[in-house]
A and B are shown apart, each in its own frame.
Chain A
Amino acid sequence: MSATTAALPVAFALWRRSLNEVLRVRGALLPATIAPVVFLLGMSGQFGRLTGLDGFPTDSYLSWIVPLSCLQGAGFAGAATGSNLARDIEHGWFDRLLVAPVPRPVLLVGPILGGVTRSLVPATVVLIVGLVLGAELPGGVPGLIALYVACAGFCTVAGLWGTFMALTFRTQQAGPLMQQGVFLAVFLSTAYTPEVLLRGWLAGAADVNPVTHVLELARQATVSGIDPSLAHTLPGLLALAGMFAVLGALALLGLRRLGR
């Protein structure tokens, strides 16, 4: 039996375990789902008139903000992977897993896949609420695929970030740090307005923030000015791959240091 074949059931079991945390703890997904919906409603109500500015690609602010809220929900679901890992480390459960005869990285695969699966709930709820309230879907099926790829990718990246934080601090008290990281990554981008309307330092930050490209990937679903095309897709995929490589390396480094 090859190492990969031996590792698969372990990854699958840990994926099931992380899903059970949601299925068996009543209301576990509620805060992670409600928060992005509240942001969606609040931001579109507060800043809805911004679409009147020259350079805004759509006349529906709800359409502009839906992908942001989907990514936010997916990101928080990913960050929760880190909180759960920190809890497992604090309670000693992860120490027991470390002595299992499988490569250490396999221990991270299941929980992160679990986070990605969980992230589908807030992303879908936000999308449905947005569509019910009048958001548009000009991107059709290709746009929707792009939106879900962006959410799943961003959740993975957020999961790696949370994992790195958990392996570094080894305490649940690092939870706010994991969430604030996601919050900052999402909002230091073209979250509220397109790049042409950003002013000051945020324009520079959004320019170098890879999440700006991930948002563009996601916005192919709902923003009429960002049609599904490779030009809007490739930068987002590359940004996700870059973040995955950097944060994945950091998480693996943290994992190697654990117990030494």
Chain B
Amino acid sequence: MSAAREGRVVAALGRRALTVQFRRAQLLMPTFVLPLMLLAVIASGTSAAQGLRGFPDVASYLGFVIPGTIVQGALLAGLTSGTAMAGDIEGGFFDRLLAAPVHRTSLVIGRLAGTLGLSVLQTSFFLCIGLAFGASYPGGPGAALAAIALAAITAVGIGGLAAAIALWTGSLSLLQSIFPFVFVLLFTAPAFFPRDLLTPALRSVAEYNPLTYVVEAVRGLLTGQEAIGDPLSGFGAAVLLALATTALATLALKERLRTA
């Protein structure tokens, strides 16, 4: 009974998070449009890279780089979730939620449910746009669905981290200003280029970035070539990230309540 009630709370908060996102078009700009712009430019601007020795033999260059866009979308969806939470804290809405007779962890998970939904919509949108512009996904529809699931788990992982920062600091402007750091995570993974062709320093750093395994797994799934990326490693990295950051956000909430 209690679990069902908490489930309804999580669903309601998740729905609210998504509704807010879609009612304020300016919030959609960075999450939906920016990754596509970067994809368009990179896919066309660097496609000559296929001629480099060591570049994997893939059916479509757009299909090869789109995993980078999917992971970028997951990063931005997660960050947006933290930004919205900081807005709720600054605006006083979060304090009202805290007074509700629900489990407090549900408040965090509800927000992350919204992130999950946003990521599913976003990744599906990116894959469809890619398809319309000539990308091919030899892995098939099942692989595309797995890629959508993997991106959604990753978005939850990033959303948990952003929520933890929001809960610790309660500062909307701080969350807005960490936007460039999203690109640090993206560019220290082989987002748009094969790992073997990254510069040696970046290749070493990439090994420790969980997004490396996620982006390679999405690439492996979509191209249907496990040699390019192992889906299991990707799911493992994404699930571990999501669990760790959700726990971190829950801890941050407890800390916030203790010091409030």
Which residues of A come within 8 Å of B, CB atoms? 27, 30-31, 34-35, 38-39, 41-50, 52-53, 173, 175-177, 180, 183-184, 187-188, 191-193, 197-203
- Please tell me if the beta carbons of A53 and B29 are within 8 angstroms of each other in the complex: no
**Within 8 Å of chain A (Cβ to Cβ): is B198?**
yes
Cβ–Cβ < 8 Å partners of B53 in chain A:
52
A177 to B29, CA, bound (A): 9
Cβ–Cβ < 8 Å partners of A177 in chain B:
29
Prevailing SS type, chain A contact patch: helix
- Please tell me if the beta carbons of B192 and A38 are within 8 angstroms of each other in the complex: no
**Within 8 Å of chain A (Cβ to Cβ): is B3?**
no
Binds A, one of B4-12, B143-151, B173-181: B173-181
Task: For residue A245, give the distance in angstroms from its CB to the closest CB of chain B.
Answer: 27
A202 to B48, CA, bound (A): 12
A84 to B48, CA, bound (A): 40
- Please tell me if the beta carbons of A45 and B48 are within 8 angstroms of each other in the complex: no
A52 to B193, CA, bound (A): 14
A44 to B47, CA, bound (A): 16
Cβ–Cβ < 8 Å partners of B184 in chain A:
38, 42
Given contacts A38-B181, A42-B187, A45-B199, contact A180 B45 (CB under 8 A): no
- In chain B between 179 and 200, which residues have their CB closer than 8 angstroms to a CB of chain A? 179-181, 183-184, 186-188, 190-193, 197-199
Given contacts A45-B187, A46-B198, contact A193 B45 (CB under 8 A): yes
Cβ–Cβ < 8 Å partners of B181 in chain A:
34, 38
- Please tell me if the beta carbons of A42 and B186 are within 8 angstroms of each other in the complex: yes
How many A-B Cβ pairs are below 8 Å?
A: 102
Out of A45, A52, A183, A200, which one reaches B47, CB within 8 Å?
A200
Q: How many chain B residues have a CB neighbour from A under 8 Å?
A: 37
Given contacts A46-B192, A47-B193, A183-B37, contact A192 B45 (CB under 8 A): yes
The chain B residue with its CB closest to the CB of A28 is B177
A49 to B202, CA, bound (A): 12
Task: For residue B62, give the distance in angstroms from its CB to the closest CB of chain A.
Answer: 10
Out of A175, A187, A200, which one reaches B37, CB within 8 Å?
A187
12 A-B pairs (CB sep. < 8 Å)? A38-B180, A38-B181, A44-B199, A45-B187, A45-B198, A46-B192, A49-B49, A49-B197, A180-B29, A200-B44, A200-B47, A201-B44
Cβ–Cβ < 8 Å partners of A176 in chain B:
26, 29-30
- Please tell me if the beta carbons of B193 and A53 are within 8 angstroms of each other in the complex: no
Given contacts A45-B187, A173-B26, contact A50 B49 (CB under 8 A): yes
Out of A50, A53, A173, A191, which one reaches B41, CB within 8 Å?
A191
- Please tell me if the beta carbons of A193 and B199 are within 8 angstroms of each other in the complex: no
A193 to B50, CA, bound (A): 13
Task: For residue B64, give the distance in angstroms from its CB to the closest CB of chain A.
Answer: 13
